[in-house]
Structure 1
């Protein structure tokens, strides 16, 4: 039986706790110091740790720990659908099969009704640069992410192996979908009120119409060939290392349509001006990359149609994030609302 590493507060990340994790990798390494470098509270509580060892150790000296959010509103919106538990299970069962760069997982544990903990090697120790939610990517960077998404989606495209991961579409996902439908209208109203002029007036009525019909819209957006999707692919969930893009924050991973990740990414990561100039080229690149991995039956016009439909979720996600509060820095949130609103309006 694996050792219990569950904690609920940053203050519980002690030397004894860290030693328990180190023992899973190297029983001869002794932890001599654990220092909390920073604590950031959003959809989860994210803690950066500095670790010292006795003598030489190949283990990382910077750790990144994720716990359930200490902000009650963010905790409520993420606890019922077990989002952190989903990410933990992703690292335990799926990460090794994903053909894109991911953080190194040192430990992961979850318990129903108690919470969960995810311990990763800090990206910056190996020279990687984490993205920020409001980053505006260059077209070269966007092309790298599109290539990564195509490689990722192709790996699981209508793949029978995903049948082994029923939790991707199981009870937890059903709870999330039900919660999203129940709260869609009040959260859309609250988010639009807070966003004000950041959302064009002509989208307010349409946003509420979508929220009232969210279940039907989700069925429409799910009615295409399935693959594994990240479902939260904005610049803050990316990292950059050696001119390659890696992907962070897998709390929303699920089975879905690949076009949904592409739409979410292009709507959030590019300024409206850059997106208008280059989205057609980037969509064509995605189709070509899929074809190079043996995925056929999709052309540019088909992808464009589905891409346009999926933009509505990127807009909803950013408006709901603002409505809930405590999930993203307000300045970043408003900028992503501006970008996704422009994409939907276009």
Structure 2
């Protein structure tokens, strides 16, 4: 690569230009020329996502369809994500950790973060490789779920209870997570109440009081959901953050990556990714598959009953996350958000998950 220090930050879609694309192409092929740049689409949610077609004469070195993430143009989403610097954290993840992760991920072409000026990720568009992106409200099959669970076990097994690696990457649970927890504690009750009101009949009334009680005591419950052993977790593993290469899953959107309890990823994924009837029928066997894959990765014997109990407890978080997302608005397509609220609410109610967290 060349000219790694040449700035590539964008203040908005209007900054996409031939000279901007040329700065990125020149990192890979100094003599290559960009002939044209077309901004194909703009999607605004938790971040601003641009699809860009770049006509250049080095297609053997880098793709011609790019996917770009910049800070959200929606003021509410930006207010929630800017202070904890979620996109900055994802940039740091791709720069420092992604090369060691045993999962399929998109090819990163450029990544930059400058304090006070913003962050940007430029990656190969999934369509360049005929990969199929997931959608947030996709209802996955048992076979797909088994694949995702197995891949998450590989990730968790790689970093399972490794304090030296945790110490090396303390930034994962550093400033970003501290700000997130502080903001969450401050806003938890009003956002939970607003989300429940907006959800209407998608959430059974029996969940309202325990959900608000959880929000009022969020710091304590979060500590209960962060037991040992710790590992590297995605923390936002819903179908929209998964893509498919033939039959194999790949993983996107690492803005919330951190050290945490691995089964939390499994709870989040199964609660969001499966229709309730399918989850009820197969969640125990999928948890057993997860345990077996962890053991194959060398973490030692896993107690199936204890693992299932922790899974039940962790189901409160996907419900909280989707309800708060609904309360804020503009961070996810509304119909998909409501469907994920419905699925996660049913999962939490099925297992009486809020009660499990009570002393």
Same fold (TM over 0.5): yes
Root-mean-square deviation (CA, aligned residues, Å) is: 1.0
1:200 match: 204
Shift of the alpha carbon at 1:242? 2.3
From 277, 296, 304, give the equivalent of 2:308.
304
Q: Tell me, what secondary structure is at the counterpart of 2:210?
A: helix
Q: 2:323 corresponds to which residue?
A: 319
2:42 matches 1:39: yes
Report how far residue 243 of structure 1 moved: 1.3
Q: What secondary structure does 1:24 align onto?
A: helix
Superposed, 1:6-155 pairs within 5 Å as 6-54=9-57, 57-155=60-158
Shift in Å, 1:302: 1.0
Aligned to 2:245: 241
| 2-structure distance, mates of 1:287, 1:169 | 25
Deviation at 1:245, TM superposition (A): 0.3
Q: Secondary structure at the match of 1:36?
A: strand
Q: CA deviation at 1:297?
A: 3.8
1:278 aligns with 2:282: yes
- CA distance, structure 2, for counterparts of residue 54 and residue 217 of structure 1: 54
- TM-score, structure 1 length as denominator? 0.98
What stretches of structure 1 of length at least 5 have no aligned partner?
A: none
Aligned partner of residue 133 in structure 1, secondary structure: coil
Do the aligned partners of 1:29 and 1:57 also contact (CA within 8 Å) in 2? no
TM-score calculated relative to the size of structure 2? 0.95
Distance 1:8 1:103 in 2: 23
Whether the 8 Å contact between 2:29 and 2:61 is mirrored in structure 1 is: no
Deviation at 1:55, TM superposition (A): 6.6
- Counterpart contact for 1:30–1:53, Cα < 8 Å: yes
Poorly superposed stretches of 4+, deviation over 2 Å: 54-58
Q: Find the partner of 1:178 among 156, 179, 182.
A: 182
- Give 2:160's aligned residue: 157
